[in-house]
Every structure is written in structure tokens, then in C-alpha cells.
Amino acid sequence: MKVKPDAKRLEEKEDKELKSNFNGSPKEWLRLIKTITAMANTKGGIIILEKISIDISQLDSAQLDDKVNSYLEPRIHNIISEKYRKDGIKIIVPDSPLKPHIFKKDGIYLEGNKQKFSFHKGQIWVRHSSKNETITWDDFQRFVKKELNSFLERINIIAAQYPLKELEVSKEGIPLPIKPVKDNEKGIPAVIMKEKIDPNVEYPYQAKDLAKILGKNQAFIVQLLKVLGLKEDPTFSFEVKNSSGKVIMRKYNDKCLEKLRKFLVERPLFNPWHDEI
């Protein structure tokens, strides 16, 4: 199908995306959910689905809201779906005041007999140009600069209802993350975030290191990581990026090593190119 000039320009913008067809497959749904989330985490936008091959009611505002927010916390509010031309849908995504929206479960679909991941639990996706990509350190800094006042206002509202335990304050006077509440006491459970992850300490292994430790060749380990869904799972791997945000290396932690070792002990003859999990 030939793309019209104005459609091509639409497709290339950070806050606009054009999809020629939407067939309602699990893979297509997860891609749509990821795009909506990435736009809400950036500055909002518009998604045009030119031709719909499913019951169009599945894409009305209420149904879309339920589908998208079943994967997220906090929820994205005010996602609007409108009819577009004859067979299409226009989805209007807000510049969410509650960003960042984080995936609370994996986005999994089947491709043949293989399990694939569109996104992982705990990930934050944003828009870079016309692409959906995981958050970078620069994105995180922009979140903080833009949303700090709003965030602190929401914390103050919550703090008025629950006594806070062990709240730390930095030298600059900016509240640091609240420590986890113990013994079921009232408070706000939270994860203490580190300013930056040192991949050399917390993710010490490249694929070649895992291969050497496990007595396998590197190609075998790379394929096994992919088949087991560990390659892009932030629980087990870390993306090292250059200044332009391009992934130049993946590193893995001890948890990943142990998972691989356990799997190979249980299935020593497993062939990651041919065998099914």
C-alpha cells in the first residue's frame, strides 16, 4: 500500500503515529498499548488506525481504557477514541500528569509456538522521535524537572492520611524515596531507587562470560537468553547505551546466571534453536 505524503509526515512525528491496518491480534494489541503508554509518558499524541478488521466497538474509549490500564500503574486517564474517516479510528492520548506509567505485568504473545515479549513488568516506555523505547537517564531527569512539584503535592496529600516512617531528606532538601514500611505499620511502601546503576558491579556478566562459566559457546547462550525471555527482562539484564540512546551492550546479573545454570541442570540436552520450553 502506497503511503500518502501527509501520512508519511504524520508517521514520523514523536506525538503522532499512523498504522495502516489493525487486525486485533495479541501482538497488535500489545504494540498499541505500548505506543499509547509511551506517548502518555512523553507529551501525549495521536494514533491513527486507518483500517480496522475487528469489531470497532472494541476500540471505543471505555474498552480501550480498560485494556490499556490493565497493564499499568498508575492509570492513564482520558484516553479518547473517535471514528476516523470510513473504517478507521483516531486515538487521542493525553500528556499525562501522572507520568511515569509503569507496566505492572509482562506483555506476552505467541509467535508460532514461541513466547514473545512486547514489554516487561517494571519497564517505563517513552517516545523518541517516531519510536517507542525504554526510558533513558535523560528521560528520567526530564520527568523529575517537570513533575517534581506535582509529585510532592500528591505526596503531601497522601502524607496527610498516613504517618510516614523513616523519611530521609537530602542535603539539598529534596525528599528521598521513603523506606519500605515494616511490621504492617501504616505508611507508604516504596522501593529505594539508586541514582544510577553501575552495570560493572550489579550486572557483571556479558554473554561471553556466561558462556565461559556454564561451559557453552557464546551463540548458544545468546539464543538461550532470548528463548527464556531473559535478554530484555530488566530483572536479569541491563542495557548499556551510548550518548544517543543506542544499546551497545547487554550485561547480566547473578540472578540470570543462576536461572541459566538451573535450567541447564534440569535440561542438559536442550537445544535453544529447535527445542520447545
Domain CATH number, residue 221? 1.10.1660
Tell me the residue range of the domain where 37 lies: 5-134
In a domain, 35, yes or no: yes
Strands 88-93 and 80-84: antiparallel
For the cut 60, the answer to whether the pLDDT of residue 174 exceeds it is no
Same domain, 127 and 11: yes
For the cut 80, the answer to whether the pLDDT of residue 114 exceeds it is yes
Q: What is the pLDDT of residue 197?
A: 58
pTM beyond cutoff 0.75: no
For the cut 50, the answer to whether the pLDDT of residue 238 exceeds it is yes
Domain CATH number, residue 55? 3.30.950
**Rounded distance, CA 95 to CA 42, Å?**
7
In a domain, 180, yes or no: no
Residue 169 DSSP class:
B
Cell of 183: 511490621
At 71-99, the pLDDT tens digits run: 999 999 999 999 998 889 999 999 998 88
In a domain, 17, yes or no: yes
Residue that finishes a domain, picked among 93, 111, 134: 134
Q: What is the pLDDT of residue 249?
A: 87
Give the burial string for 133-165 (b: 16+ CB within 10 Å, else e): bbbbeebbeebeeebeeebeeeeeeebeeeeeb
Q: What is the pLDDT of residue 109?
A: 94
Give the amino acid at 66: D
List C-alpha distances in Å: 254 to 112, 165, 224. 31, 32, 16
Same domain, 124 and 204: no
Q: Which residue has the higher pLDDT, 153 or 36?
A: 36
For the cut 80, the answer to whether the pLDDT of residue 183 exceeds it is no
Q: What is the pLDDT of residue 151?
A: 58
In a domain, 160, yes or no: no
Mean pLDDT value across the chain: 81
In a domain, 211, yes or no: yes
For the cut 60, the answer to whether the pLDDT of residue 132 exceeds it is yes
In a domain, 161, yes or no: no
Q: Is 118 exposed, middle or buried (0-12, 13-18, 19+ CB in 10 A)?
A: buried
Same domain, 103 and 218: no
Asked if 64 and 90 touch (Cβ cutoff 8 Å), the reply is no
Asked if 196 and 203 touch (Cβ cutoff 8 Å), the reply is no
Summarize the confidence of residues 223-240 as an average pLDDT. Answer: 90
At 6-61, the pLDDT tens digits run: 444 445 577 899 988 899 999 999 999 999 999 999 999 999 999 898 988 899 99
Same domain, 123 and 15: yes
Same domain, 99 and 207: no
The label of the residue with cell 500528569 reads 97
Q: For the chain, what is the domain count?
A: 2
For the cut 70, the answer to whether the pLDDT of residue 70 exceeds it is yes
- CB-based contacts of 208, cutoff 8 Å, min separation 6: 218, 221
In a domain, 186, yes or no: no
Q: What is the pLDDT of residue 137?
A: 83
* DSSP-based three-state secondary structure for 102: strand
Q: What is the pLDDT of residue 98?
A: 86
In a domain, 12, yes or no: yes
